[in-house]
């Protein structure tokens, strides 16, 4: 019973949402446009589960003395933001905004910027023409990179060559991937709705 | 002291390359691409006073790249006298978007509530896009500042996407795809985007198929847009750092391959 009810709910929800998408009947329109509101509410509850799980995992790890300092900093930040928001609010010139603008944004931008250094190092050590496919990849990368530099303004055909690469080989590959993702999503959705795919219910049985 | 390895020298080289280029501060010649001009023309050709949704669909980490793109687009829209509704599909983009809108609105003397409003963040982006298609009022009963929807003069008469001229998604990830799939696909609202350079190839097929009306990509796109509106916002200067880093990487790849082929020849001999 514990598995049949969720399966039935899933089947009916999938079937109804699929049917109403293609219907212009007023009732179908109401269902179609009202469900997202409930979806947001359900999503908000999943956030609560995430918050509890995150706190629990870190507290357990601290008890086991595993990466203690990092996890403590993590929990401190985790607690500081909602406390700051609850006590002083989230409007301009509050501690919440100060922490966001002066700690979170610079830290995230810094971590993101570090990628440039790793890309430089990786391109020096790894981007080598060891085989024909690697050579083709290398020439392609060099053309696109150089077209984005001032060299692209000096060598007349460089931007055109880079644009051609993006608009034909790259885009056709991208389209193939997108179509593949679409078909894969469709198949998986059908398997879930029909009840063939049951891993979302958890457990092995 | 520990001896520096090759990778450390590449890090130092990159730091010096960018640092020296920024100090020299020379001006790059950046021709405006057709693609950037399409977005410019799209905003330019809308009748003055058109209402646009600007969606800040990005995280804090991409601010250095996103900021110049957003500033250029917002400045152009405010300069043309369009009414802007700010929303955010990611929580981190909420405050950044609000600050950017407020800053640009002040530059052009636009008034909150009359010329622009900021509705803020709603969880679950697909649900948020779909529910705005039914009713923006029901999705956002209050704006980011806590004002009631109906108390804001600009929002009177705006019920759903049928009252909106288009959506401008400022994104560092795949969220613009949801605007295309659900906003455009379901409600037929025009969607344009300002995205980070890494996402440009993701959206190329959508631009080519006409599902995405216009797109500006990366710092280069921002720099091009700044030239079109004749106002700098960090894109042109950012391009200086980015271009020097690109040249540096190209040089590194060439040196790496010279070393590779030289050592292969040595081994063969």
What's the whole-model pTM score?
Answer: 0.87
Chain B residues with beta carbon closer than 8 angstroms to that of A100: 60, 95
Give me the half-sphere count of Cα atoms (radius 13 Å) on the Cβ side of residue A144. 16
**Nearest residue of chain B to residue A179 (CA atoms):** B205
Q: Which among B96, B74, B95 has a CA at the least distance from the CA of B85?
A: B74
Question: In Å, how far is A55's CA from the nearest CA of chain B?
Answer: 20
Write out chain B's pLDDT in tens, 269 residues.
678 888 899 999 999 999 999 999 888 888 899 999 999 999 999 999 999 999 999 998 999 999 999 999 999 999 999 999 999 999 889 999 999 999 999 999 999 999 999 999 988 888 899 889 989 999 999 999 889 999 999 999 999 999 999 999 999 999 999 999 999 998 999 999 999 999 998 999 999 999 999 999 999 999 999 999 999 888 988 999 999 999 999 999 999 999 999 998 998 88
Alpha-carbon gap, residue B197 to B204, rounded angstroms: 11
Say yes or no: ipTM exceeds 0.85.
Answer: no
Which of B12, B89, B95 has the highest number of chain A CBs within 10 A, making it the mutation to test binding with A?
A: B95
**pLDDT at position B48, please?**
95
**Nearest residue of chain A to residue B99 (CA atoms):** A92
The CATH code belonging to domain B33-235 is 3.40.50.10160
**Nearest residue of chain A to residue B186 (CA atoms):** A21
> Are the beta carbons of A174 and B133 separated by less than 8 Å?
no
Chain A residues with beta carbon closer than 8 angstroms to that of B12: none
**pLDDT at position B1, please?**
64
Alpha-carbon gap, residue B185 to B240, rounded angstroms: 38
Chain B residues with beta carbon closer than 8 angstroms to that of A105: 60, 63, 96
| Encoded tokens for A87 | 């006590």
| Encoded tokens for B150 | 């109906």
Alpha-carbon gap, residue A165 to A173, rounded angstroms: 11
Q: Which member of B62, B64, B220 has the closest CB to residue A148?
A: B220
Q: Which member of A36, A113, A175 has the closest CB to residue B205?
A: A175
Q: What angle do CA B45, B47, B48 make, to 5 degrees?
A: 110
A14-42 per-position pLDDT tens digit: 999 888 888 888 888 888 778 877 888 88
Could you please report the per-residue DSSP string of chain A?
A: -TTHHHHHHHHHHHHHHHHHHT---HHHHHHHHHHHHHHHHHHHHHHHHHHHHHHHHHHHHHHTTSSHHHHHHHHHHHHHHHHHHHHH-SSTTSHHHHHIIIIIHHHHHHHHHHHHHHHHHHHHHH---SSHHHHHHHHHHHHHHHHTSTHHHHSTTHHHHHHHHIIIIIHHHHHHHHHHHHHHHHHHHHHHHHTS--GGG-S--
**Looking at the complex, does the CB of residue B211 fall below 8 Å from at least one CB of chain A?**
no
**Cα dihedral sign for A22, A27, A33, A36?**
negative
Within chain B, how many helices (H) and strands (E) appear? 11, 6
Give me the half-sphere count of Cα atoms (radius 13 Å) on the Cβ side of residue A176. 6
**Looking at the complex, does the CB of residue B60 fall below 8 Å from at least one CB of chain A?**
yes
- Give the total residue count for chain A: 205
DSSP, collapsed to helix, strand or coil, labels residue A204 as: coil
**Looking at the complex, does the CB of residue B264 fall below 8 Å from at least one CB of chain A?**
no
List the 154-183 stretch of B: residues with Cβ below 8 A of A.
none
Using CA atoms, how far residue A198 sits from A51, A124, A192, in Å, is: 26, 46, 7
| Encoded tokens for B48 | 């003055």
A141-175 per-position pLDDT tens digit: 899 888 877 777 778 888 889 889 988 999 999 99
Which of A92, A93, A117 has the highest number of chain B CBs within 10 A, making it the mutation to test binding with B?
A: A117
Give me the half-sphere count of Cα atoms (radius 13 Å) on the Cβ side of residue B90. 20
DSSP, collapsed to helix, strand or coil, labels residue B14 as: helix
Chain A residues with beta carbon closer than 8 angstroms to that of B95: 97, 100-101
Alpha-carbon gap, residue B194 to B222, rounded angstroms: 8
Pair B206, B174: CB distance under 8 Å: no
Q: Which member of A40, A112, A148 has the closest CB to residue B246?
A: A148
Pair B134, B182: CB distance under 8 Å: no
Alpha-carbon gap, residue B20 to B23, rounded angstroms: 5
**Nearest residue of chain A to residue B16 (CA atoms):** A117
Domain ranges in chain B are 33-235
> Are the beta carbons of B96 and A105 separated by less than 8 Å?
yes
Q: Which among B81, B197, B185, B192 has a CA at the least distance from the CA of B130?
A: B185
Question: In Å, how far is A183's CA from the nearest CA of chain B?
Answer: 15
> Are the beta carbons of B128 and A40 separated by less than 8 Å?
yes
> Are the beta carbons of B131 and A37 separated by less than 8 Å?
yes
Q: Which member of A101, A109, A130 has the closest CB to residue B64?
A: A109
Chain B residues with beta carbon closer than 8 angstroms to that of A91: 145
Q: Which among B220, B264, B256, B263 has a CA at the least distance from the CA of B65?
A: B220
> Are the beta carbons of B127 and A43 separated by less than 8 Å?
yes
| Encoded tokens for A202 | 């958890």
């Amino acid at each position: 019973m514990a598995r049949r009810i969720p399966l039935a709910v899933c089947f009916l929800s999938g079937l109804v949402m699929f049917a109403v998408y293609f219907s212009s009947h007023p009732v179908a329109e109401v269902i179609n446009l009202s469900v997202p509101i409930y979806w947001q509410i359900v999503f908000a509850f999943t956030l609560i589960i995430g918050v509890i799980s995150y706190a629990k995992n870190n507290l357990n790890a601290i008890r086991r003395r595993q990466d203690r300092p990092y996890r403590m900093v993590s929990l401190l930040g985790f607690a500081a933001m909602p406390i700051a928001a609850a006590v002083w609010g989230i409007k301009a010139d509050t501690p919440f905004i100060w922490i966001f603008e002066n700690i979170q944004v610079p830290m995230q931008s810094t971590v993101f910027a570090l990628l440039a250094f790793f890309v430089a190092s990786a391109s020096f050590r790894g981007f080598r023409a060891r085989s024909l496919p690697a050579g083709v990849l290398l020439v392609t990368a060099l053309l696109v990179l150089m077209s984005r530099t001032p060299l692209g303004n000096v060598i007349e055909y460089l931007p055109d060559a880079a644009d051609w690469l993006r608009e034909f080989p790259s885009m056709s590959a991208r389209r193939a991937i997108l179509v593949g993702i679409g078909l894969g999503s469709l198949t998986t959705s059908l398997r879930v709705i029909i009840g063939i795919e049951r891993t979302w219910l958890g457990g092995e049985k | 002291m520990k001896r520096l390895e090759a990778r450390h020298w590449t890090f130092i080289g990159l730091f010096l390359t960018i640092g020296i280029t920024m100090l020299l501060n020379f001006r790059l010649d950046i021709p405006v691409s057709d693609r950037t001009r399409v977005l410019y023309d799209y905003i330019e050709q809308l009748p003055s006073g058109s209402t646009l949704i600007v969606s800040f669909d990005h995280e804090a980490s991409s601010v250095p790249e996103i900021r110049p793109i957003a500033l250029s687009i917002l400045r152009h829209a405010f300069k043309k006298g369009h009414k802007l509704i700010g929303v955010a599909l990611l929580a981190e983009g909420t405050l950044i978007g609000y600050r950017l809108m407020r800053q640009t609105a002040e530059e052009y003397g636009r008034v909150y509530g009359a010329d622009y409003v900021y509705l803020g963040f709603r969880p679950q982006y697909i649900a948020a896009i779909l529910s705005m298609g039914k009713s923006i009022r029901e999705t956002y009963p209050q704006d980011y500042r806590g004002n009631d929807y109906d108390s804001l003069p600009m929002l009177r008469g705006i019920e759903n996407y049928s009252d909106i001229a288009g959506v401008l998604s400022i994104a560092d990830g795949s969220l613009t795809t949801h605007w295309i799939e659900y906003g455009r696909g379901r409600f037929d609202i025009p969607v344009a985007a300002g995205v980070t350079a890494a996402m440009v190839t993701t959206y190329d097929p959508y631009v080519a198929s006409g599902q995405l009306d216009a797109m500006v990509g990366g710092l280069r796109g921002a720099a091009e847009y700044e030239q079109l509106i004749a106002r700098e916002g960090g894109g042109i200067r950012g391009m200086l750092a980015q271009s020097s880093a690109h040249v540096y990487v190209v040089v590194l790849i060439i040196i790496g391959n010279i070393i590779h082929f030289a050592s292969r020849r040595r081994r063969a001999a």
